[in-house]
Amino acid sequence: MVGPERPQFVLFGSSIVQFSFSNEGWGAVLAHIYARKADIILRGYSGWNSRRAVQILDQVFPKSTLAATILSYPHATGLGPHVPLSEYIENIRKIAIHLESLSEKTRVIFLTAPPVCEKQLRASLSGAVDMVRTNDSCRIYSEACLEVCRGMNLKAIDLWTAMQQVENWETVCLTDGVHFTAEGSKIVVKEILRVIKEANWEPSLHWKAMLTEFSEESPYDPVSEGKTVNVSEHDLIGDSQWE
């Protein structure tokens, strides 16, 4: 463990999480936005489902864990990874109960199943597995996740609906029918930041409300026009778009 101690955001899920630091992914964007404010920790396991997630909760989130957690375990493709709806609902509930038991300061955001482009998905799988995931089944699982979160007073993001607001979302937001393009990841980030900003959490976890680490002025700061310039809060790579 390195210091100074910062808030931690744990991204926990399947391939949508594991791949979130590639292709200008949403995990990498969050890490940039929260630089010097919070640590973005990746716990993504490609091919996994909610059933396997429940089995390792104590290992990923031991009782000593204190972190904000963003979870994504969508409806899986194929007969092997497929989890029936009733079990999925129960698994989401178990995950939420475990996380809330860690600390009064633990914050949880669920991401619903995003939409899928079935044509792209069939092409990318090349008949390797039987098709179980359809866009309509993703809707059903997405609505189930939202319903569980409403019942438990938890934050949730309806990715299934949000992404389909984009014209030609199938190709603009998805690379292979399932995983996100850079544009798709931008939607995820904007939705996460919107929920965090609107949440009545104390302290706030929105990046604009958090202190920047070691942001005090220093004689070693860069010099411009004969004066030192504190660049710790500067918008270096378009941060203002995330306000």
Show the 3-state SS of 158-176.
CHHHHHCCCCCHHHHCECC
Catalytic residue among 14, 20, 50, 72: 14
**Long-range interactions of 161-165: CB distance < 8 A, separation 24+:** 162/187, 162/191, 163/114, 163/115, 163/187, 164/115
> Does residue 32 carry a catalytic annotation?
no
- The answer to whether the bond into 4 is cis (omega within 30° of 0) is yes
> Does residue 179 carry a catalytic annotation?
yes
> Does residue 206 carry a catalytic annotation?
no
**Exposure string over 150-175, b if 16+ CB within 10 A, otherwise e:** eeeebbbbbbbebbbeeeebbeebbb
Catalytic residue among 176, 221, 232, 239: 176
Catalytic residue among 142, 179, 185, 206: 179
Q: Which residues are catalytically annotated?
A: 14, 176, 179
